Amino acid sequence: MLKSRVILAMDKPLSYQVLKEMENELYGIKVGLPLVLDLGVDKTRELLIGLDVEEIIVDFKLADIGYIMKSIVERLSFANSFIAHSFIGVKGSLDELKRYLDANSKNLYLVAVMSHEGWSTLFADYIKNVIREISPKGIVVGGTKLDHITQYRRDFEKMTIVSPGMGSQGGSYGDAVCAGADYEIIGRSIYNAGNPLTALRTINKIIEDKVMK
């Protein structure tokens, strides 16, 4: 039985104590660039290293040549997984990153559909081809675009789908999971709450109730 469908988007520091209280009720933690810029790499590692969550996912939305992306991820060895853009293509870029991550038992997630209004779906076929060729562990599909989640779930049956955009960006908790996502990525609604643990528990309950319906 899954302990939670929530991945906490940490774009702002929370205390170790608060994170420790939440660890049993989270699937994972997504580490954003603002957090690492605030704390630095060493303090970020110290904050996260003792936490018992399934996955620590670094989300810098990598989009560079393979050599540079590898140099970035090797400095962030506390993470299990990394998010990269798919539009950068395969040869000399994502193929090298994927080989490096495979060799180091780390996972790759590719951005498929972003949650914001201005994201263009004009290049959707191209993005799907890149995803097929690279075969990452998972993909990011905006939780504000439920029809896209359903479509990607159909096209990529076995891939993990993680969906941001719930709460602060307008998506309703549980809707992305009901549309086919595995996990919902939630940031501000938790870390900006007066009591992040209570906020997380409320969200977990809403998702659970919707999934059970």
Phi–psi pair at 167, nearest 5 degrees: 80, -105
Of 125, 143, 32, which Cα lies nearest the Cα of 86?
Answer: 125
CA-to-CA separations, 93 to 58, 97, 105, 134, in angstroms, rounded: 18, 6, 18, 11
In this structure, what DSSP letter does residue 137 have?
S
Binding region for ligand 3DU (CB under 6 A) out of 74-82, 100-108, 129-137, 166-174: 166-174
Select which of 12, 61, 128, 210 is catalytic. 61
Out of 45, 128, 188, 210, name the contact with ligand 3DU by CB under 6 A. Answer: 188
Q: Measured between alpha carbons, how far is 174 from 185 in angstroms, rounded to an integer? A: 11
Is 128 marked active-site?
Answer: no
Phi–psi pair at 79, nearest 5 degrees: -90, 155
Compute how many residues bind ligand 3DU; rule: CB under 6 A.
17
If the CB atoms of residues 92 and 148 are measured against ligand 3DU, the closer one turns out to be: 148
Binding region for ligand 3DU (CB under 6 A) out of 46-54, 91-99, 148-156, 182-190: 182-190
Out of 8, 28, 32, 70, name the contact with ligand 3DU by CB under 6 A. Answer: 32
Q: Is 204 in the site for ligand 3DU (CB under 6 A)?
A: no
Q: Is 12 exposed, middle or buried (0-12, 13-18, 19+ CB in 10 A)?
A: middle
Out of 28, 66, 165, 196, name the contact with ligand 3DU by CB under 6 A. Answer: 165
Of 61-120, which residues contact ligand 3DU (CB under 6 A)? Answer: 114-115
Binding region for ligand 3DU (CB under 6 A) out of 124-132, 147-155, 159-167, 200-208: 159-167
Q: Is 167 in the site for ligand 3DU (CB under 6 A)?
A: yes
Written as one string, the DSSP assignment of 57-111 is: EEEEEE-S-HHHHHHHHHT-TT-SEEEEESTT-IIIIIHHHHHHHHHTT-EEEEE
Binding region for ligand 3DU (CB under 6 A) out of 13-21, 148-156, 163-171, 194-202: 163-171
In this structure, what DSSP letter does residue 198 have?
H
Amino acid at 48: L
Out of 6, 11, 85, 151, name the contact with ligand 3DU by CB under 6 A. Answer: 11
CA-to-CA separations, 73 to 22, 130, 153, in angstroms, rounded: 26, 20, 28
Q: Which residues bind ligand 3DU (CB under 6 A)?
A: 9, 11, 32, 59, 114-115, 140, 142, 164-165, 167-169, 185-188
Residues annotated as catalytic are 61
